[in-house]
Structure 1
């Protein structure tokens, strides 16, 4: 597995149309080699379409997607749905894919250990819980020890414990020199493991950057009931704490200041504080503020009809 730098994936001006329906439009993002990059957005945002284009399961209608390495052993795909045969055992499922990946029996055993499936190797897929089925899909993807993992809806239907295990697997893959591109409907599922976030809404990228940058723009706050609140806001601003928002109920939501600091500034300004309550912001509240559910897909503009021709019908399609 290569440990070189650069870009494992580069999407530039990517659009994908299905007939008159535009699934994604003018999408730009890169996946740095040796990183975990997460595509995040509500259902129907275009994440699966983008991942399938990265995997070569379709061609962009516009723009381009460049992948540093192609080939059967270069990319490990985890699709949704997982494509597992319900009547096969875990071991048999891996055995079916091993020849394609050029994997030996020893490699199959190693992947079973790596994904924690050795104890259920002789269990049929239908009896596995969703987290174990996701582990099996990952095990298949890892057979060829690919430098790039591409996983769609990786955290869907899995428990909190399983999510923690998936985070560890992704970090181990990166520590070995690999790269991962994953998608999720929930920011909370990826914010603690991703090196880079690409937020997608209605087929376009609406925000991208590091989790640190995202937290900085949407910080946790302390909500202060003070009298008068305006005087406290003024006193805080004079001390450099300018990120304070007046709420409709008159309380002040303050970022980047701890409770002791707020009380000290209030005391110096002769402002009485009745209460201070923590207001940690949940990652999915942040995601909701950046995106909106996709009720329809954009339609491709039709050519202007000639004067004698009837206007074409416009079609929309919910996902």
Structure 2
């Protein structure tokens, strides 16, 4: 894998429409080689559409995408994709599923054994798909994406349906891929599910970018708070501001929501202000609360004729 730090994925002014339905509108972002990034948003936000365009399974209506560059190979094997649903035939074993794909992409059967070992399938490789758990099916789909040893991975909802142990394994696997110089672009409906593993977030709202940047920067703009009930909220807020704690919000119930100050610092400010403290309650901000504040639910789309639902075609993807 290349250790280049140039762009692995570049998206500029991307748009996708299906007749009267707008799935993606004016989306732009870049993902640097050797990093992990996530497209995050509620169902219908445009995540899968963007990934399918990057994989060459859909044509954009507007804008452009570029994959590779700066030393990254431009061949089909440079990129491995995993779509949702995983597309395994219920009566086919995991090993047979991978052998079919190995023949399709022109790699040896020995490579099938390698990726089975790489993703930790073990004896499960000879079980039929219908007997596999969601986590095991994800490992099979990931193994298929890895057959060509691609530096770039595009993964649609890889953590969907996984338990905590499987999610932890997936995170460590993806971190290992980026440590070796590879690049990951994944999608998720949960911000909490991707923060432990990604360097960059692209939050989508109704097909457009609502936030692009690091998890750390997003966290700084949505900090945990202490909620303070006091005898004179305004006096306490004024004293806290004078001491440098300016991120203080007076809630409708009269309590203060204070960011970046410790309980001890709030007690000190109360003594200076001559204010009685009645309670201090932690209010940690869950990442998915942050996501809900950034991303609107999927917008309703017009129907082409009265009484006829708009049809969003599902393109043929890479079965997994």
**TM value normalised by structure 2:** 0.91
- State the Cα distance separating 1:316 from its structure 2 match: 7.5
Equivalent residue for 2:86?
82
Moved more, 94-103 or 149-158: 94-103
Q: Which residue of 1 aligns with 2:254?
A: 250
2-structure distance, mates of 1:77, 1:287: 25
| Cα distance in 2, alignment partners of residues 66 and 171 from structure 1 | 23
User: Partners of 2:40 and 2:90 in 1: how far apart?
Assistant: 29
Matched residue, 2:30: 30
Q: Say yes or no: does 1:184 pair with 2:195.
A: no
Q: Is the 8 A contact 1:296 1:318 kept in 2?
A: no
Is the aligned partner of 1:54 residue 2:58?
no
Measured in 2, the distance between the counterparts of 1:299 and 1:205 equals 25
Structure 2 unaligned segments of length 5 or more: list them: 313-320
CA deviations over 1:139-174 (Å, ceiling 9, x no partner): 110111101000111111111221111111110110
Match of 2:160 in 1: 156
- Structure 1: how far apart are the matches of 2:74 and 2:81? 12
Matched, 1:217 2:221: yes
CA distance in structure 1 between the partners assigned to 2:39 and 2:13 by the alignment? 16
Is 1:17 matched up with 2:21? no
Residues 318/274 of structure 1: CA separation in 2 closer, same or farther (3 Å cut): farther
Moved more, 99-108 or 204-213: 99-108
Aligned structure 1 segments of 4 or more residues deviating by more than 4 angstroms: none
Would you say 1:234 and 2:238 are equivalent positions? yes
1:175 counterpart = 2:165: no
Mind listing any 5+ residue stretches in structure 1 that lack a counterpart?
301-311
Shift in Å, 1:318: 8.0
Moved more, 102-111 or 212-221: 102-111
SS at match of 1:37: strand
Q: 1:124 to 1:286 in 2, by over 3 A?
A: same
Cα distance in 2 for residues equivalent to 1:176 and 1:126 = 34
Aligned length: 308
The answer (yes or no) to whether the contact 2:20–2:301 under 8 Å persists in 1 is: no
